[in-house]
Amino acid sequence: MTIKRILIVGGGTSGWMTAAMLSKLTNQTLDIQLVESENIATIGVGEATIPAIKRFNHLLGINEAEFLSATQGTFKLGIQFENWGGLGTSYMHSFGKIGRQWDWLSFHQYWLKLHQQGLVKHLDHYSINAQLALAHKYTHAQSNRPQSPMSEIASTYHFDAGLYGKFLRTLAEKNGVKRIEGKVIKVNQHLQNQHIKSVLLAIGQELDADLFIDCSGMRGLLIEQCLNTGFEDWKHWLPCDSALAVASSKELDLPSYTRSSAQAAGWQWKIPLQHRTGNGHVFSSAFISEQAAEESLYQNLDTKAISDVNHIRFRTGKRRKAWNKNCVAIGLSAGFLEPLESTSLHLVQTAISRLIKLFPDRDFQQANIDQYNQETDLEIERIRDFIIAHYKVTNRDDTEFWRYCRNMEIPDSLAAKLDIFSAYGRVHRETDELFREESWVQVLLGQGLIPSAADPLVALKSPSEIESFVSGTEQVITNCVKNVSSHQAFISQYCRSAE
């Protein structure tokens, strides 16, 4: 009853991530095929990631400098959010730590105590990642300095998603994955249990398998069009349903962060690569026309446009089952969350890991499938809540869109988090949800949600002790940043692309 053949339907980044990792972790013992058509475009609305992608690349044995050179990649220390909490506001959601923990309390609790008295600077001043990013600097973490903030630098990547897919395809094919060019025109099912039996290509070739993986994008060729799994729509919480993407020329002073600027009915991203800048406008068609959104996109470009605009429509939400019968949906076929926090590739990565952990035999035990779906739902719902918080927690009321976001109902799980934070600045996390305390703290404070009080245990320290601790932390970070070279200089030396 062992699974012998796997067919991945759809290429792109998610398809080739799946093929590369499955072939690596199963040690080339399975017959893995991937079918894709060069005539079907892939959707890549973002080219930014979160730090977990480093583990994925490490498992594949990828050399970092080689990979960044091949994908025109740069480093990312966080995301700068402009005009989200209110017009004229700005904050950095940076990776890594904020300040230092003192005894059993996190740094932000002492910051809150001083903030109540007007005796502290913006939270960005107490993060090594944020300060390096704002200065357009970068260096790797220095593990040989364990007592220094330099050991706590946390980073990830910006890269060309299309080039990353090609890079992974080379690895996967070296590991025995067979690519088949073709367009799927029909999906055949077993009569007795309605499991997928095979797919028929336009050229007449029929491909069968034991396990099918749907990487066909939002259309869900297998998981939805064949198996009618159903879709849970989250548009009432995440009203944006459209995106416009355009490339512009590269920046000379290369930032080491993604920028997200809130607009009248959505937001605009800017992602710096070695050879160009990725830009896009995510918006709600219920609150702004596509023409007006495109005009806004062009007006807010920092460099000259060098491509045509790519128009994308989407629905935020998830399949009711990411695994149905003998089909697992990975990537956009499983669900979509707008790229506000760069989680799309992370969800691909965790789906693959979860599939390996719960790998089936041809019996496809339902309890195993149910466990996969339960873990998948919990993960994406908690990420969903984090993204909703960016819209809900705001002082903006200057447009109809933002008034809707401020007043909308939110999931109970998010409401509970906001209530807990509002009281004493505490962050309640469930199980192994993605975003850590530091992420919630930076976003909620940055959006303007200031707790009514700091943790009561802060009072165990004297005011002078707290002031000395906080100011000393800032000074150490400032001194560290002074000695770091620019992001552009680091890229030129470490991983400059040949093109």
Alpha helix positions (H), 102-204: 107-116, 128-134, 161-174
Radius of gyration of the chain (CA): 23
Residues 6+ away with beta carbon under 8 Å from 20: 60, 168, 169, 171, 172, 175, 177
Q: Which DSSP string do the residues of 100-114 spell out, in sequence order?
A: --BTTB-HHHHHHHH
Question: 174 in helix, strand or coil?
Answer: helix
Burial 93-123 (b: 16+ CB within 10 A, else e): bbbbbbbbebeebbbbbbbbbbbeeeebeeb
Do the Cβ atoms of 199 and 186 come closer than 8 Å? yes
Which of 76, 321, 325, 392 is labelled catalytic?
76
Structure token digits, residue 400: 């109809």
Determine the Cα–Cα distance for residues 261 and 296; give it in Å rounded to an integer. 11
Specify burial of residue 424 (Cβ count, 10 A radius: 0-12, 13-18, 19+). middle
Do the Cβ atoms of 269 and 339 come closer than 8 Å? yes
Q: Name the nearest CA neighbour of 318 among 237, 218, 433.
A: 218
Do the Cβ atoms of 164 and 56 come closer than 8 Å? no
Structure token digits, residue 5: 């053949």
Active site residue 183: no
Count of H-run helices and E-run strands, the chain: 14, 21
Catalogue the active-site residues: 76
